Amino acid sequence: MGEMTAFRAKVRGRVQGVKYRAFTQHHAVRLGISGCVRNLRDGSVQVDAEGDRIRLEQLLDILRKGPPGARVDGVETAWVEYTGQHRDFTVTI
């Protein structure tokens, strides 16, 4: 396994009401990434993810595309220290 790290991303665009959170969870689980995804009041989606850096970068590429029906205008990403606090990847309300 490579370098363990984490990020917090804010995804802007038409990302609520288009199954973006379920899409994110599906791909995170497939990649072996832990964390959570939730809608924000401003219409964006926040993704907190932990895992192998290469797999996290793959997830970011996926987040930039989004599911059918979504329109991603931008993904602001802050890399943060890995804490290991997440055991799986959940959708939070």
Q: What pLDDT is attached to residue 93?
A: 80
Catalytic (active site) residue 38: no
Reported as a single tens digit per residue, the pLDDT across 2-57 is: 789 999 999 999 999 999 999 999 999 999 999 999 999 999 999 999 999 999 99
Q: What pLDDT is attached to residue 1?
A: 62
What token pair was written down for 59? 């997830």
If you average pLDDT over residues 68-74, what whole number do you get? 97
CA distances from 42 to 31, 45, 51, 61, 67 (A): 28, 9, 27, 23, 20
The fold of 4-92 is: Alpha-Beta Plaits (3.30.70)
What token pair was written down for 3? 């370098």
Catalytic residue among 8, 14, 38, 39: 39
Catalytic (active site) residue 21: yes
Catalytic residue among 21, 30, 38, 55: 21
Placement of tokens 């989004």 in the chain? 66
Domain spans, the chain: 4-92
